[in-house]
Amino acid sequence: MPRVKKGFKGHRRHKKVLKLASGMRGGRSRLYRTAREQVLRGLKIAYRERRRKKRQYRALWIVRINAAARLIGTRYSEVAGWLKKSEIALDRKILAELAISDPAGFKAVVEMAQQAAGVA
């Protein structure tokens, strides 16, 4: 069989991969085969970490809400339960921001939820 060279499309494909691998060291940025392996691995890790970042932020918000709740004299789980029973629709991100920037407002929200949930 005759040897077939890549032509325009193959060169473009190689250039795209090598551009993505441009910050890597050694052959990983210069040799197509190893660059392709590293680029695929990097894309896979980036995909995974984008999802992990969301989990980490949620955990951080819960820690912040719990710390603010402890200052009031309650726990995160109780606060979350009261908010759910009283149908106050504030998500964790907003509650955590409120707990940091306005502790008095956070306390007011918790007390309002506590009263609406029917807890003394």
Whether residue 2 lies inside any domain: the answer is: no
Q: Which residues contact 72 (CB under 8 A, 6 or more apart)?
A: 106, 107, 110
Domain assignment of residue 57, given as a range: 8-117
- CATH code: domain of residue 93: 1.10.1900.20
Mean pLDDT of 63-85: 95
Mean pLDDT of 95-102: 96
pLDDT at residue 71, as a whole number? 95
Q: Which residues contact 23 (CB under 8 A, 6 or more apart)?
A: 29
d(CA 119, CA 76): 15
Whether the per-residue pLDDT at 1 is higher than 90: the answer is no
**Can you give the pTM of this predicted structure?**
0.79
| Chain position carrying tokens 């040897």 | 3
Whether residue 94 lies inside any domain: the answer is: yes
Whether residue 1 lies inside any domain: the answer is: no
Whether residue 87 lies inside any domain: the answer is: yes
Mean pLDDT of 61-73: 96
Whether residue 98 lies inside any domain: the answer is: yes
User: And the tokens for 36?
Assistant: 């392709």
Whether residue 27 lies inside any domain: the answer is: yes
Beta strands in 29-113 (DSSP E): none
Mean pLDDT of 90-106: 95
Whether the per-residue pLDDT at 5 is higher than 90: the answer is no
Whether residue 49 lies inside any domain: the answer is: yes
Where does the pLDDT of residue 120 fall: very low under 50, low under 70, confident under 90, or very high at 90 and above? Answer: low
How many folded domains does the chain comprise?
1
